[in-house]
Amino acid sequence: MTKAKYPISRRWVLQGSAATTALIASPAIVRAQAQTLRIASLLPRSGYLAPAGQGCHRGAMIAPKVLADYGHRVELVHVDTESSADIARTQAERVINDGVHCIVGPFDSAGALAIAQVCEQRQVPFVINIAAAPQITEQGYKFLVRNFPTGGQLVTNGLALIKTLLEVTKLQPKTAVFLHANDTFGAAQRQAMDRLFPASNMPFQLAESIAYDPKAQDLSVEVTKIRAANPDLVLVVTRAADAVKLVRDMVRQRFEPKGIISPGSPGLYDEEFYQALGPLADFHIYNIPWVNPKAQMTQALAAAFKPAHPNFRFEVDCFNVGFTFEGMLIAADGFKRAGTTSGAEFMKAIRATDIKDHVMIGGPIRFDDKGQNPNIPSACVQNRSRTPTVVLPTEAATAQPVLPMPAWQGRA
């Protein structure tokens, strides 16, 4: 996304109904009498998480129109957290002071933890679209729900799919290396891997776990370590920018694993990854929750996305778009049932969510006592012709998985 098309700024921008000006001019409007739900969308639209944050933002931009078609009237306040937990905290305070009724976001776990503290203090509902650190829903917060798997759930689902993938492709790897970012999300994934892998009965050994700084200029040192271990598989927890660095350094050092697989993380499916690497972006695999292409709401979301964002592909953005839209849907559905934006009553309705028709694969959206949706499955998705393609489970697959992946040289 270029700056000319979507300027990046800390300033928030209102989108929605014609009531916007009146709402700004009348901050004393009583929350319980609100006719339009005002949602603050806090996302990292600049900084090192920008590719994913901008994808989520594209979902937020089309949410009011699609929600209106389902009988929900919402108005959004768009805020850039700049990939900073401190800015996320400050902006959460700001939008609450300006009268929003709830917050949806923020994609990253560090930002989610910061916003959760603010929303708990101010008793404003917080709906997490994407963020996997387990501690978010383990600290007793009453004013948040998370419609996304924890790091442990992602790893559990991801490892199970890897086992199925190896059975289907008949690949018999002997060793793997686990490479992960050293941020909040990556550390949570490492802890989950350390806990879950020994009991997973995987048909290969985990030779080493290697952490890296996602802000580093390259990953040459880390790739050198991986080469020394010479694993058959490289399991990764990445973002788009560092996934690009990883592949480039592997090609430079002529290291060719049989497969690069994420047990549950972004990066490998972002448009930035495809554009930077071309054919080298193909055949990588990621086991993550994904949209249900057969769902009527998914089709409605895709139909709204294409004219609104003609320079982007829904097939690529659908993970970020889908979860961000569902965050807005959860808030709007709770508001409709509560009949008020009063903090405690509104939050009680959100906690009682039971949405059967939605976008992502899985059963109804429901939350346990901690505010966690525990029943979000993953799919095995592989890059084919620079497009995310479901290869498992079989009933949802549109192609057969390819493993081992082709050599770097000679790709067209």
Q: How far apart are CA 198 and CA 195, in angstroms?
A: 7
Q: Is 243 helix (H, G, I), strand (E, B) or coil?
A: helix
Q: Do domains 13-149+292-351 and 152-288+379-396 have the same CATH topology?
A: yes
For β-strands 259-262 and 102-105, DSSP reports them as unpaired
- DSSP designation for 93: H
Domain ranges in the chain?
13-149+292-351, 152-288+379-396
pLDDT at 18 over 60: no
Instruction: Compute the average pLDDT of residues 331-356.
Output: 97
265-280 pLDDT, tens digit each: 888 998 889 999 999 9
Q: Is 270 helix (H, G, I), strand (E, B) or coil?
A: coil
pLDDT at 4 over 80: no
Q: Is 382 helix (H, G, I), strand (E, B) or coil?
A: strand
* Residue in 159, 177, 196, 186 with CA at minimum distance from that of residue 258: 177
- DSSP for 132-184 reads --GGGGSS--SSEEE-S--HHHHHHHHHHHHHHHHHHHT----EEEEEEESSH
Q: How far apart are CA 282 and CA 385, in angstroms?
A: 6
Instruction: Compute the average pLDDT of residues 154-176.
Output: 95
pLDDT at 75 over 50: yes
Q: How far apart are CA 237 and CA 181, in angstroms?
A: 6
Cis before 214? omega within 30: no
Q: Which CATH number fits domain 152-288+379-396: 3.40.50.2300, 3.40.50.300, 3.10.105.10, 3.40.640.10?
A: 3.40.50.2300
CA angle 145, 269, 80 (to 5 degrees): 50
pLDDT recorded at residue 207? 95
* Residue in 198, 180, 176, 199 with CA at minimum distance from that of residue 190: 180
Q: Cβ atoms within 10 A of the Cβ of 211, count?
A: 15
Above pLDDT 70, what percent of the chain? 92
CA-based torsion, 70, 76, 81, 85: positive or negative:
negative
* Residue in 302, 331, 326, 366 with CA at minimum distance from that of residue 60: 326
CB 255 within 8 Å of CB 227: yes
Model confidence band, residue 94 (pLDDT cutoffs 50, 70, 90):
very high
Q: Which residues pair with 379 in a beta bridge?
A: 288
Q: How far apart are CA 161 and CA 116, in angstroms?
A: 32
Q: Is 128 helix (H, G, I), strand (E, B) or coil?
A: strand
CB 179 within 8 Å of CB 246: yes
- DSSP for 352-375 reads T--B-S-SBSSS-B---TTSB---
Question: Greater confidence, 410 or 143?
Answer: 143
Q: Is 409 helix (H, G, I), strand (E, B) or coil?
A: coil
pLDDT at 64 over 80: yes
pLDDT recorded at residue 394? 84
289-317 pLDDT, tens digit each: 999 888 999 999 999 999 999 999 999 99
Above pLDDT 90, what percent of the chain? 80
CB 295 within 8 Å of CB 356: no
Read off the amino acid at residue 216: A
Superfamily of domain 13-149+292-351: Response regulator (3.40.50.2300)
CB 298 within 8 Å of CB 291: yes
